[in-house]
Each structure stands twice: as C-alpha cells, then as structure tokens.
A and B are shown apart, each in its own frame.
Chain A
Amino acid sequence: MDNLTMTTPERTVMEDVDQPAEPPPADESAPACTFRVKNLSIWYGEKRAIDNVTLDIVSNAVSAIIGPSGCGKSTFIRALNRMHELVPKTRVEGTVLLHGEDLYSNDVDPAIVRRRVGMVFQKSNPFPTMSIGENVIVGLRLNGVRDRKFLNERLEKSLRMAALWDEVKDDLHKPGTSLSGGQQQRLCIARALAVEPEVLLMDEPCSALDPIATAKIEELIYELKAKYTIVTVTHNMQQAGRISDYTAFFYLGRLIEFGPTTKIFTNPSERQTEDYITGRFG
C-alpha cells in the first residue's frame, strides 16, 4: 500500500473511494455481526414507524423480531433490504451497515442490496406463470445468467437446501402453484436461496401454515443458519423461543429489549417485555 502511494498517488485515491469501509476490528469474544443498525428511524409520510433503533444482528444465527401488531416489526425487517421503500414517501435516518457497508448510501443500488439480502414473505408467492423449476432459478435468469448447466446445478442445490428436492424432483415442470401451502413456502425459500444471498429475511414465514408444515420450516431455519444469517418476524412466541438465538422486542416503533433468546424469555430486564411474553398484552 505504501509503495503504491509513492508511485501512483491518484490511483490509490481512487481505490480508497471504491473500497468499502473496513468493518471495525471485532472484539475477539464478541460474535461477528452481519448487520449493524445504528439510530435507525423510518417515516411513512408523517408517521414514524421506527424510532431510533440500534442493534447488531449476529452472523450465522437466527434473530427473531417479536412485538404486537403495528409495532414496526415488518418495517424494520424490510429496512434491512430496502423493501420498505416500495411504499411511497418513506424517509430513513440513521445507518444500516451490512458487513460494514452502508445500505443507504447514495451510490448503492437497492437491487444489489436485495440480491445480498434475500426475503421470504408471509404469504407464499410462487410465480403462477412458472413451473417449479423456473420459479427456483427465476432470480438468476432475470439477473442475466444463461448457462443451462449452472442453472440446473443451482436448481438442485437450492431445492435440496430448502428440503424440497425429494418431494418435487420428478415434477419440476409442474406449475409452482400446484404444490401444497407448506411446499410453496419452501419453494419460495429455495427461490430466495438460489441467488446465494448472505442473509435471509423472513416475514412471518409460517403464519399461513398448518402445524406440520410449520415444523418443517422451523427445522429448515435451524439447518440454514449454518450458512446464512437469518432474521425472522414472528407473532408466535413459542416459535421465537424454539428457533431463535436472539430476540428483539419491538413496541410502538421502539426497540424495547434485545438479547439472547434464553435471557429475553426467562429473565427479561424490561417490564413491558415480560408483560408481552407472558401474554398480558398484545
């Protein structure tokens, strides 16, 4: 680096600009963080949906966001891949760092953010005009990947990761909407995994599913965290307890409490958290 500075100073300046900011040196004992959210506030028009939230999302772990309806859970999770911007008149303050890079800096294309931070929605939404196979690789195809062999490999890999391969391998040409609700949701997970994101956001992925399908998705989430950082919104307290390593409790747009799930559920420091978890409100 020093050598370069001596010989070609202009070039180094350029490189400095292009390089993402170095993440702050990690404390040896602290776990690595995928997201660092700092003083994040989000407005929809005049209404403030998220109020000054600061929290770190730990890598290769499951973080659950809980809280009563309208507390900003969905807005928060959508702010992690800029999906909330689809609502007109949104405004963001504060920073969201993904591995040290600010998602909201002016030169960042939201499409690139979403390629790195995938999302699964409450209602499974396989594309009705496409077969099971096409649904899985559509993200790659529309992002310009043409190589048939590569697409086929990725198709199988993604479906295997989503624990769906054995159920659909002989029916890849059938419409994606011909599957059952739980299978459709796993198809959507496979679709999100196919573009190889670093993070998987899940917005109440099981709320429309029966208990058996829910159990399968929960098992899948547990397996996926080895490779991915997962952030999930859930209305179901037991589910948050079962699947998550960290839990954040939101209320009226504020982060009330955030910590290891075992602590939040057994020994919360805030009265509101305890009241919510024990079902006294919400």
Chain B
Amino acid sequence: MRFERAHHHTWRKIKSGLVSTIAFVSALLVIAPLGLVFFHLLVNGAGSVNWDFFTKLPAPVGAAGGGMVNAIVGTLELLALAGAIGIPVGVLGGIYLAEYGSARINSILRFLADVLNGIPSITWGVVVYGLVVLRFKGFSAYAGGLALSLIMIPLILRTTEEVVLLVPNGYREAALALGVSRWKTIVHIVMKTASKGIITGILLALARVGGETAPLLFTAFGNRFWNHSLSQPIAALPLQIFTYAISPYDDWHRQAWAGALVLVTGVFCVNVIVRVLTRGRAASVV
C-alpha cells in the first residue's frame, strides 16, 4: 500500500513536469517568431538603414543608394487621414455603445463590429476601390486613408466601449447629481476617466493599420516620387517593401529589408508607448 502510494506520487510528479515542459516550449514557440523576425531584419536590413534611407527618394534601378523618405512620409500622411476619419467615428461609436442605446440594438452593433474586425484587410481595399477609386477615376491618398480608417473603426469602437464601461457608475451619478448635463458628464467625467484606455486603443489601431499592405494595393497604389496632392497615388512603407521585395534587384531587396526593419521598429515603439501609458492601470481606474 505504502509502496503504491509512493509510486502514484512519482507518476504525478512526472506528469506535472511533462505538462509544464510542454507549456514552456509552447511559450517559447510563441515568442520565437518575434525573435527570429527581429534577428533577420537586423542582419539583412540594419546595413541599409542610414541617413540616406530617411532623407532620399528611391534611386532608379541600377543606381546605388537612395532611400524611402517618400514612403515614410506617405505612411504618416495615410495614418493622419485614417485617424481623421477613424478616431472620431470609432470613439463616438464606442461611447454610444457604452452609454446610450438599448441593450438589444447594442448587442447587434457589438456583434457587427466583431464581424468587421474579422474581415480580411484586402476586402477593405477592394471595397474602397469599388466605391472611391473607380468613381473618381484614380488611386489616391484619400482612398488609402479611407481603407485604413475602415479597419480602424471597429477596433477603436470596441476598445473605447470596453474602457468606458469600466468607469464606475458612481462617477456618472456624482456628476449628474450636481446638475451636470448628460453629455457634459460623458465628456468631462466619463471620457476623462477613461482617457488612457481610449488613447491606448487609438494607438494600437494606428500601429495595426500602419503595417497594412493589402488595403493599400488598389487604393493608395504607391508612388516612386513625392506625393504632391492627396488626390494622387501616394507611397507607403508597406507598399514600398512589397514592391521592392518582389523585384529581381539585390539593391532593392536590401532596401526592402531596411524598410521592414524601420516599420517593425515603429510599431514596436508604439507598443512600448502604450505599455508606459497603461503602467499605472491598476492604481488608476481605467
């Protein structure tokens, strides 16, 4: 009897060790791609990230040097356009879901937002191509920004809703009991209390669409030169990387690696900012 018990004990220990080993290996497998990506980008791209890369236009085929300044600026312009549409619509929509509306309509809207979040990004490119590019007979920065904003809206909407719902009801009641109107309560009390969370949602959405290529293929289209009008095609970092990566030229491949390194670093920086912003999360309310 005693022997058997000891036996069970060992067997249990082995099982426990086995499972935790599997869990540990799985965790490594999750992190490994990130490490591999960074490693590869550094090895292949770091050599080409230099001052020229950030200040010069792409060089013609065969000519050495050149940079991607137009693509970097283009991505920032596209993000600004996408944000100008996506942030107000997403935030206001999230506030509507959290503060107004009936439970039934809200659950439908919430479900639709989740469906939208799951739609492949290239679909948005096609939709905007049909709606905007064909109608106005041309690729443009506006079309690219719109496609990106459509991806941002459901993301921002859901995060805004969640953080606004986290604001304790006591604060709303306290403000309303002072004779403050409903909308002022929402703007000055609820949104202010949830501001960190809302900003976090916006930044994550910007980081997410900043790296999108597919929705820009038939909207922003890309541009080897400076974009002088938002109604003209515009360069974007992911598009430039795509074009360069599938080209047959070694020079361009190196540039593509460098572009990818810059893009990933940018997204990484945004994530770090978000971490810093949300550090006091447990202490503050949202």
Interface residues of A (CB under 8 A from B): 81, 83, 86, 111-116, 118-119, 121, 123, 125, 127-129, 138-139, 142-143, 188, 191-192, 195
- Given A112-B179, A114-B179, A115-B179: A142 touches B184 (CB 8 Å cut-off): yes
Bound-state CA distance A115–B172 (Å) is: 15
Q: Which of B123-131, B185-193, B203-211, B242-250 contacts A (4 or more CB under 8 A)?
A: B185-193
With a CB–CB cut-off of 8 A, which chain B residues contact A116?
A: 179
Interface residues of B (CB under 8 A from A): 168, 170-181, 184-185, 188-189, 192-193, 195, 284-285
With a CB–CB cut-off of 8 A, which chain B residues contact A112?
A: 179
The reply to whether B284 and A128 form a contact with Cβ atoms under 8 Å apart is: yes
Bound-state CA distance A128–B177 (Å) is: 17
B4 to chain A, nearest CB (A): 55
The reply to whether A138 and B168 form a contact with Cβ atoms under 8 Å apart is: no
Bound-state CA distance A83–B180 (Å) is: 12
With a CB–CB cut-off of 8 A, which chain A residues contact B188?
A: 138, 142
Nearest chain B residue, comparing its CB with the CB of A129: B192
Nearest chain A residue, comparing its CB with the CB of B192: A129
The reply to whether A114 and B170 form a contact with Cβ atoms under 8 Å apart is: no
Main secondary structure of the interface of B (DSSP, over half): helix
Interface pairs (21), CB distance under 8 Å: A83-B176, A111-B179, A114-B176, A118-B177, A121-B177, A125-B171, A127-B171, A127-B192, A128-B171, A129-B192, A129-B193, A129-B195, A138-B180, A138-B188, A139-B180, A142-B175, A142-B178, A142-B184, A142-B185, A191-B178, A195-B179
Contact partner of B177 (CB less than 8 A), chosen from A114, A123, A142, is: A114
With a CB–CB cut-off of 8 A, which chain B residues contact A86?
A: 172-173, 176
With a CB–CB cut-off of 8 A, which chain B residues contact A191?
A: 174, 178
Bound-state CA distance A188–B177 (Å) is: 11
- Given A128-B193, A128-B285, A129-B193: A138 touches B170 (CB 8 Å cut-off): no
The reply to whether A142 and B174 form a contact with Cβ atoms under 8 Å apart is: no
Bound-state CA distance A138–B189 (Å) is: 10
With a CB–CB cut-off of 8 A, which chain A residues contact B193?
A: 127-129
Bound-state CA distance A114–B170 (Å) is: 15
- Given A125-B168, A129-B192, A142-B184: A119 touches B285 (CB 8 Å cut-off): no
Nearest chain B residue, comparing its CB with the CB of A194: B178
A109 to chain B, nearest CB (A): 9
Bound-state CA distance A195–B178 (Å) is: 7
Nearest chain A residue, comparing its CB with the CB of B182: A111
With a CB–CB cut-off of 8 A, which chain A residues contact B284?
A: 128
With a CB–CB cut-off of 8 A, which chain B residues contact A113?
A: 179
The reply to whether A83 and B177 form a contact with Cβ atoms under 8 Å apart is: yes
- Given A142-B184, A142-B188: A125 touches B179 (CB 8 Å cut-off): no
Nearest chain A residue, comparing its CB with the CB of B170: A125
- Given A123-B170, A128-B285: A81 touches B177 (CB 8 Å cut-off): yes
B47 to chain A, nearest CB (A): 48
With a CB–CB cut-off of 8 A, which chain B residues contact A143?
A: 178-180
Nearest chain A residue, comparing its CB with the CB of B286: A128
Bound-state CA distance A134–B170 (Å) is: 17
With a CB–CB cut-off of 8 A, which chain B residues contact A123?
A: 170
With a CB–CB cut-off of 8 A, which chain B residues contact A125?
A: 168, 170-171, 173-174
A199 to chain B, nearest CB (A): 12
With a CB–CB cut-off of 8 A, which chain B residues contact A127?
A: 171, 174-175, 189, 192-193
Bound-state CA distance A191–B184 (Å) is: 17
Bound-state CA distance A230–B138 (Å) is: 70
Bound-state CA distance A143–B176 (Å) is: 11
With a CB–CB cut-off of 8 A, which chain A residues contact B172?
A: 86
Nearest chain B residue, comparing its CB with the CB of A139: B178
B233 to chain A, nearest CB (A): 44
B270 to chain A, nearest CB (A): 24
